[in-house]
Structure 1
Amino acid sequence: MAGLSLRCGDCGALLRTVEEAQEHAELTSHSDFSESTEAVLSLVCTTCRKPCRSKTETDLHTKRTGHADFADKTLEAAKPIDLVAAERPSINSVENAIVGSAAASGSEPSEEMVIPEVDKKLLEELESMGFSTARATRALHFSGNDSVEVAINWVADHEDDPDIDQMPLIPISSKQETSKPSLTTEDVMMKAQELRNELVKEGRRREKDGKRKREGSYGAPSSTYPYPFLLLIVQKVIPFPVPINLGASPRKYRERIRVGKELLAAKRMEEENERKRIIELRKAEKEEEKRARDKIRQRLEEDKAERRRKLGLPPEDAGSTKPPPPPVEEKKSALPIKPVTKVERMRDCLRALKQNHKEDDAKVKRAFQTLLTYVGNVARNPDEEKFRKIRQNNPTFQDRVGSLHGGVEFLELCGFEQVEGGEFLFLPRDKVDIVVLNSAGSELNSAITNPFFGVL
């Protein structure tokens, strides 16, 4: 199958003609080109008829205009590529032609061909869409400088013209503009030299400042120069790096935005889970306080009835007494943070420890803090064996936890086992459950900070 395009081996860009490949090589310094059977995409917007050559261009066009329907005319526009490049005029040949014609006539050329004047703003807008300067100028000139849409429609209708990428030239007499002073041959040569020097200085300055990767084409002919056709010729002779592959930047920006959104969503989910966990803990503390108040109220009623019995007074009328509040049914948490059954057993164990030693609050509080230290060390360092092994006959352990009823039972609920004839309490590494340890730590914190914990 004949080749339909030329592929750049350095950046992967597909080019329609050898001329485009030469311009691409001059602008990017890429030199590895090969013939490809893959045709350059020709996607035409069905709304405004703007042609796009890649998926990136269609995405940018959709983002800018909102047009999302494109017609694929790749097969219609595909044709074998001509590997013979047309000879491009050099600056010396153009200058010699100008000098020769001036010398032959003995005066300035009578019918000098110049580039037509077009709307500068419309030209810049077409260049920002990806059109070359020559194609944009030709479209604006032949469409009457009306609007960007009209120029795009003209390009779509004349895309197969052989001279679509050539700069249009018209006689100077046909230009509709104010008269300008004519230039002699020496003036033209001087202007060309000045423009050449300015371009060299501009290229060196941009290279020194490190602005090679700046988006946009700063090497295109500037409309501020009075003779842009000379600037085009000089640019072919003295090229400097111009970033023209704008498709990669939006893709990188979209990837960064997507990763940022994912990280933000994960952070919000983590914050939401933490908020729910805190709400569950506060709810459990409130329920514990409510149960403690109910028990105190019940004990007061019993003491009151006992005093009336001792004084020989009749019991209070059952109708006058307020009915006891209905038992509060505990709702299980929907979050998989702590197993409810084991947590209840831990709470009962701590409540029994406080009730059995309620005459010494300082000793009970010290026992709770010691248990919290054991549990926290294992939760933070599950791989350290020294935190998972406790000698039961240690004087400090016996004084703070071992001698109190319920201390060893609480550690066994956390996963500790008695080994070596009961000399040690050991928590195997494969039985370390971080969720259970976190639940135990929450219960110990509640027992330490809640003044109503285990009152009855």
Structure 2
Amino acid sequence: MAALSLVCKDCNMQLKTTDEVQAHAEQTGHTNFEESTEAVLNLVCKGCGKPCRSETEKQMHTQRNPGHDEFVDKTNQATAISYAGTAAAGHGGGGDAAMTDADAPKERVSDKVNKELMDQLKDMGFPEVRAEKGLWLTGNSNLEAAVTWLADHSEDADIDEPLMVAPEKPKSNLTPEEQKKALEEKLAKMRAEKAKADKEMEKLQEINRIASMKEMTEARKKQAEQEEKIREEKRRREKEQDAKEKARVRAELAKDKAERLARAGVKPEEAAAAKPQDPHKNRKIELGTKLRDVIFDLKNDPAQPNPATVVMETAGKYVENIAKNPTEEKFRSINIENAAFQRRVASKKGGLALMKALGFEEEDGKLVLKEVDEQWLALAKAEIETATKRMTFY
């Protein structure tokens, strides 16, 4: 059975002629059309002969024209689609270039649109330019389709710009089959151009996406750096405050001690002379400093157990092993790249500095305790245990 209409597969609009198809394609960019054996509804008013393409359009015609309430359904009189008179007619003269010449003069569609439908749209309140567009771009014979199109495109940036189209071209010298082929070729070319434009758009969108991701990554990096600066400044202030508090407590203790000695009649210099000199005093001070550094640098780490505890307990275990086996060299040498040592000590802030405060020296990728002072090891182990127990109160 011959085709009675052409259906746009992009928007499902039913079109009667190839001229409507070409106009629809040029204005909407839709290029997927399919022949259909279903005829376009054709209700003809007995009073004036106006064809209506839908029940809605028929009702609106009756409302605007009292007495025009009888229609004849001539849908079944539809003839097969003719490919004569299309823009493909350019094949008879100037070839495809004549059909797609972008430099050809354009003219408004004012004299081409259905005058009666145009008046009805204007009566409904649509401006002339919009009414022209609504009719022309929907086939110029369906009021309902025109109103729907105008509603869908009311926010378009160019909605109020006059619609300009190429003037009608001379009738074709080609056969209907040749004209059908020419129309199909033009639609295929339009599809290829649209696919190319879509590909370019996808490429541009990908470039923009990558640029956006890069900007977002940079922004996150800067934010992370700023947050780290804030945390570092907070840790610094906390250490300063802690040092001041400890100095205040030491001053109070020294004052109390001096007062007790005074009440006992002992002079401070006599008490100092009577007290034996601690040979490990400076090492204990340095060790205490490194322990406090580890505690305050890692106290806000969310990991459980707290990394500061892990560092100090591991260091204490190394000291304990050496104290139990002072002659075993394997306990006095630690491979810095050892995975367990890296995970528990070396990768933590202040970890290596703490090991060096215990007496280890860095040598050929290892930490080595060259001299074993059992008294110092016992003092160091006790100090580490105290710090581990008191943490921020150490």
TM-score range, shorter chain: 0.3 to 0.5
Compute the TM-score of the two structures, normalised by the length of structure 2.
0.34
Compute the TM-score of the two structures, normalised by the length of structure 1.
0.31
